[in-house]
Structure 1
């Protein structure tokens, strides 16, 4: 018989969500076993958020040199040392890794098992030669890149977000399959670092985002020199004398597009292989492990969080901060028996292109579908910010969707550092605020954050022309 462990909580997966659960539970003195078959820190630290943002930062510095002349600064031609770029990315990962390390979590009192986990029954997991029988289990195994079923794709070398950061040389001609956030962030970064880049998207690029906001980012990406093709269906992939060749169907027939490298960013799938979920009575579908809004699976002992969780069959929201949010919910549920419910309307998202696209709550289209025409849309251009003008970053806008009484339903922004603007609106939405307190807060001048207040003030603009209000002002003037 294998050695038996009986912790209060067993967490499977040491990515953002799993680590948050383990750290929080350990802080309360709860016995925790953490199982991870791969690298500590999961996708975000090793192959996702952290390396991609480090690469984007390097690319932004390259672009800043190109734009310096507009500010009266002559910096000369841009030269890219890709080996040093790669070293920068690695250095950023290495700087964060100790926070997610096995040593740190063992220091917190967590037993860490570096092995594959699989359920052997409704109440037990096998991992690393141990049998683990916990009061509660939390599955936080994340997701991985999907290769679409395109003929020939399996026969050519393919990059994904899990391998692109291992490149030792800058791609000469990079083909990107997928015009979502991952594809476009990396496409723009590699273009700014010197690659020729073509992006092929079968539908609309940044299709989930409000078209008014997405347009700002897409126009800049094209100006940067990325060939972005929407409505492009790749029918076949093959090797050719020019490298990797894609056969792309278009209105004028089939076109062949060649590149030196192919990056596939066409979606992600939940990681459940090898868990033997059926032995534990845990239901799943192609979207992930089925959970209710309290993140419990069909086995009441087991929770699933983050990318792997399909909340009421809607699939997971594949963001690191969502995994952290889920972690907080299940900790409250497991430790304190409090009722919890995921609320997707409160969860923000940002696409880290330049300019960025950020959103929290409902987009205009979503709000109209849910509330009909009883909404108001308030917009303020980025050019209304004196700070944005001073920095020559006037492309973009802030867009609010509110009810007729001013209750916030959603907020979006497109522009340099738009993700930072979304923070305030995330707080306002979570607090159930109307636009009134936002219209009244004092923002330091000059900051781009002033646009939040200006957008809220737009709600009251029709009042300025009210005959009734003007009569009140005239009457008050009588009293001196």
Structure 2
């Protein structure tokens, strides 16, 4: 048995773990990184990267290019291979990180064992991410079930893909496969895209249905069966039969195998119990980041968490997390992006103080020029400051950045309206929404009109 003593031991080589390892090593800390599976974690190998690559191929097919299903999957593999070196063992060893290709588990509050190595560290970071959830539906163990960890390996095009789950992952994969020539049925137990603004989500769902995707809502999957190469999902609204099944109902946090009890770390099925400093509430030597911290499950949140841990664990500076400025995007076509509060949440929180400013993409000249006028922006404003923004339309994931910055830095709506943007660009939709917030104050105010008449009367 080998024993190592180090400053920082990181369990998990996904987005959050790699960001901390790189930063800490370059700042002079001794770092050990444990990863028993693939470097880069879910995002690179099974999530963000392959899904966006497949969506890109779907867009090419939608634009009229001939895209074979196998070629689309080859593109996915090529994209992963291109990015892999950035997350590789070789790169991190070059930065001074000691990488051990084993899973780690705690054997005491101050020690982790990985294979035949025991690591004693001043601080530990749990960055083990999450994996796809396959719920215990009757018959599920007898059926070939795909998740985001296997769907990208399919080389032959599914004739009819059944998707259980109408959230972002389910809807993205539904549209990508439909555009690549598959028949697609989405089965959702409640409301598709139910966590998003219902008015703007309806725009996305109408587009998906218009492309031929069947979306069955309020249909809880009760049983699944497989016979003669066909899979049937039995729901409250009847049965649906297809050739392949994709499970996209959520994710489970990867903390159960870490022996956290041996470390005195409190946890449950949602993750490690942490304070707003991302420190374990029961063992101050231990931090958790990303999905393992039990909050929002996005790659960019793990990166954000990494910065908090670096400031706290390495520099001893106070640092706390907040979620009010965290954006996210559903990469359907049109895209849907959100930051801060939705309209429903803002009304519950702020009541009559809330004002909502909106603008349509149909009024954006760049959108008109490119024939991409489906979409809308909605800004939730309280006392002159944005507290939330929802965008559905072309490049929504890019356009939300301005509002994420505004909310993070507590800017006023005037900061957006005063910004000069190039014409014609999609980004002008942001300024249009800000202008629509101020319009009633300028154009419907009797006081403003009286002032203008006085100025015009007496100004030399």
TM-score range, shorter chain: over 0.9
- Give the structure 2 partner of residue 99 of structure 1: 86
Counting matched residue pairs gives 457
1:215 aligns with 2:202: yes
Structure 2 CA distance, aligned partners of 1:106 and 1:194? Answer: 43
For residues 407 and 66 of structure 2, the distance between their equivalents in structure 1, rounded to whole angstroms, comes to 44
The more displaced of 143-152 and 97-106 is 143-152
C-alpha deviation, 1:128, in angstroms:
2.7
Partner of 1:51: 50
Q: What is the aligned partner in structure 2 of residue 424 from structure 1?
A: 402
Contact 1:242-1:259 within 8 A present in 2 as well: no
The answer on 1:442 being equivalent to 2:425 is: no
Asked if the contact 2:34/2:100 (under 8 Å) is kept, the reply is: yes
Query: 1:381-417 CA deviation, whole Å, 9 max, x = no partner?
Result: 11111111111111110110001x2111011100111
Q: 2:244 pairs with 258, 261, 270, which one?
A: 261
Match of 2:9 in 1: 10
2:30 aligned partner: 31
Counting only pairs closer than 5 Å after superposition, residues 52-131 of structure 1 correspond to structure 2 as: 52-65=51-64, 79-131=66-118
Partner of 2:260: 277
TM-score (structure 2 length as normaliser)? 0.98
Equivalent in 426, 436, 441 of residue 458 of structure 1 = 436
Given that 1:401 and 1:409 are in contact with CA atoms closer than 8 Å, whether structure 2 keeps it comes out as yes
Q: 2: CA distance between counterparts of 1:47 and 1:318?
A: 14
CA contact (8 A) 1:19 1:100 kept: yes
**CA deviations over 1:235-272 (Å, ceiling 9, x no partner):** 1100134600111212xxxx221110000001001001
Q: Which runs of 5+ in 1 are unaligned?
A: 66-77, 311-315
The answer to whether the 8 Å contact 1:234/1:249 transfers is yes
Deviation at residue 462 of structure 1 after TM alignment? 1.3
Alignment partner of 1:378 out of 350, 357, 374:
357
Please name the residue that 1:291 is paired with: 274
Q: Deviations over 1:135-156 (max 9, x none)?
A: 1000000000111121001110
Q: In the alignment, is the contact (CA less than 8 A) between 2:374 and 2:393 conserved in 1?
A: yes
Aligned to 2:290: 306
Deviation at 1:60, TM superposition (A): 0.4
Q: Distance in 2 between matches of 1:5 and 1:384?
A: 62
Instruction: Return the match for 1:245 from 226, 232, 240.
Output: 232
Preserved CA contact (<8 Å) 1:242 1:258: no
Deviations 1:178-226 (A, max 9, x none): 0000000000000000000000000111111111221111111111110
> Pairwise mapping of residues 280-359 of structure 1 onto structure 2 (< 5 A)?
280-297=263-280, 298-310=282-294, 316-359=295-338
Structure 1 moving runs of 4+ over 6 Å: none
Give secondary structure in 2 for the equivalent of 1:135.
strand
Contact 2:6 2:122 in 1 (8 A): yes
Give the match's secondary structure for 2:121: coil
- Measured after TM superposition, the shift of residue 421 of structure 1 is 0.5
- Distance, in Å, in 2 between the alignment partners of 1:55 and 1:15 is 21
Q: TM-score, normalised by structure 1?
A: 0.94
Partners in 1 of 2:147 and 2:21 — Cα distance?
29
The answer (yes or no) to whether the contact 1:282–1:299 under 8 Å persists in 2 is yes
| Distance in 2 between residues matched to 1:175 and 1:39, nearest whole Å | 28
Q: Gaps (5+ residues) in structure 2? A: none
Cα distance in 1, alignment partners of residues 371 and 139 from structure 2: 45
**Who is 1:75 aligned against?**
none
SS at match of 2:324: helix
Task: Indicate the RMSD between aligned Cα atoms, in angstroms.
Answer: 0.9
Q: Which moved further from structure 2: 238-247 or 227-236?
A: 238-247
